[in-house]
Amino acid sequence: MVRMIEKIPNLVGRSVERYTILSVLGSGAFGIVYRAVDNSSAEGKQFALKCLARSPQGSQYERAVAREWSIQSQLCGHSNIITLHRFFELRDFVFFVFDFCEGGDLYSAITETHIYQGKDKLIKRAFLQLLDAVEHCHRQGIAHRDLKPENVLCSSDGSKLYLTDFGLASRRLLSSEHGVGSAFYMSPECIGREIKLATFANHSSDVWSLGVILCNMVTGRCPWRSAVTDDECFSSYLHNSKFLLETLPISKELCTLFGRVFTLNPFCRIGLPQFRAAVEKMDRFSMTAEELGSSTDWCKAAAAAYAREVLPERIDDPDFVIEEQDIGEALSSNNSIMGRTHPDGIHVFASPEDEGVRVRRPKRKQQKPVDFTPRAVQKPLSEDSTPSSAPQSDGPITPETHAVDDVDVDIFTESLSHLAIPPPRLIGKGPTLEDDIPKYHGPSRARILRNAVQILKA
C-alpha cells in the first residue's frame, strides 16, 4: 500500500499559486510542511505550507482533512495557537497556509539549542502559554490528543509558544480510541493496555501529555518510555512517589506537581486551571547548585547531559563512573537526548533510541528484579498496531488507519480516590540502577490494577 506522503513530489524551488517553495520544514506519514515566500507580498513575507495528497471524495481521509481544517479554523483566533490563513486545493494536493515561526518547534529548542536549560523564568513564561492554548481548546470542546514538543512551535528566543497540528484532534469529550498519539506522551488510560476503560476522557489525557512536555523543558528528558508497568521507570515511579526527584534534577515543588499530574486515576488528575495556578506559584523548576551537589548520581548525570557539561571529577560513589568521551559523543551527535539510550547505561530518560550518557555499572551483588507486570490484566498489543505517531513508527494513528469510534456518554461521577497506590516501604536507598530495583513490600501491583479496572467497568 502506497503511503500518502509518497504521493507528494519534492516541491522545493517550485511555485504553488502565489507562493515559491524555499525549503522543507518537516514531514510526517501523511504530508510535508514547506517554508514558502508569498510573491504577492511587498516585503516577501514567509509562510509555512502544509501539503497533503488528495484522496477520493467521501473517503475517511478526506473527512479527516476537512475536520482538521474545521477545528484549526475554530481555534486559530487564540494568540498561542498557530494562525491558519487559508486552505486551497491544487490538482492532486491540498494546502494549509500557516504562520511561519523562526524558532522552529519546541523539540528542537529543547534538544538542539537548549534554550530552556536552567532558565526557570523562561520555562514558566512559555509553558503558561501552552497551558492557555490547551485550555482554550478544551473550552471550545476540542481535545488535541497528540500533545508533544514536535507539535508546538516557538519564537527564536523561546519566549512565545504556538500550538499546532490538530490532525488527531477530537470534539468528543470521551473516546473509545485507544493508542492515539505518541507513546512517550500517552496517558495509561489512552494506551489502554492495563487500565482498560471502554471510554476515557480526552481532556484528562491531554493534561498527562502536558506534564511530560514540562518534564522535557526542565530536564531535556522524558520520565519514562511508556506509562505501562513493564516500563521499569514508570513502575518505579508508581512504587516510589519521589522517584522523579531521585533521578531527575527537578525541584521538590515540581516533583509534587508531577504527582498531581501523573496520577494513575484519571478522575483524580489535576485540571488545567489548577495546573496553571500551581505553575504560576512555582519559583523554581530545577534543583539549585547546592541541591544538585547533594543529589543522586542519576540527577547529576541528567543535569550534565542537558547542560552539555562534564560532571565534576569527584563523585561520592567510587564505583560510579561516567565517561567524558561518552558524554561528548552523545552531545555532539545529531541524536536528541530526548530520544536515545545505551544498552550498558542507566535509563533515566526512558526513550528507546537515546545514545545518551553511558554509565558503567558497578560490580555488585545481583538482586533478582521485582516483576511488576500484572499478568491477569495485561494484554499485549497486536503486531499490526502501534501506539505512537513518533518518527520511528509507521506514522500517526489517524482515521485513515484506525476508524474513529468516539462516543458521547455521560461523564463518570464515581470518586475513585480510594484507588490511590499507598507509598511502599523500600529496602535500601531507592532505585539507583536498572538491575538493582529495590524490593517492594506494598500491596500487589496486579491486585491494585485489577481492582481499578473492575471498579471503572462497574
Q: Any idea which residues carry the catalytic annotation? A: 146
Distance CA 334, CA 235 (A): 30
How far is it, in rounded angstroms, from Cα 139 to Cα 81? 14
With cell 538542539, the residue in question is: 112
Q: How many Å apart are CA 455 and CA 458, to the nearest integer?
A: 5
**SS3 at position 85:** strand
Interatomic CA distance for residues 354 and 344, integer angstroms: 12
CA–CA distance, 331 with 217 (Å, rounded to integer): 17
272 phi and psi angles, rounded to 5 deg: -65, -40
End-to-end CA distance of the chain: 42
Q: Phi, psi at residue 286, to the nearest 5°? A: -110, 165
Per DSSP, the three-state class of 419 is helix
Closest C-alpha to 154, from 116, 101, 218, 118: 101
Spatial distance between the Cα atoms of 390 and 21, rounded to a whole number of angstroms = 26
Upper half-sphere CA count for residue 119 (Cβ side, 13 Å): 16
Residue 229, CA distances (Å) to 89, 378, 382, 421 in order: 46, 9, 18, 13
- Distance CA(338)–CA(385), nearest Å, equals 24
Contact in structure between 246 and 298 (CB atoms under 8 Å): yes
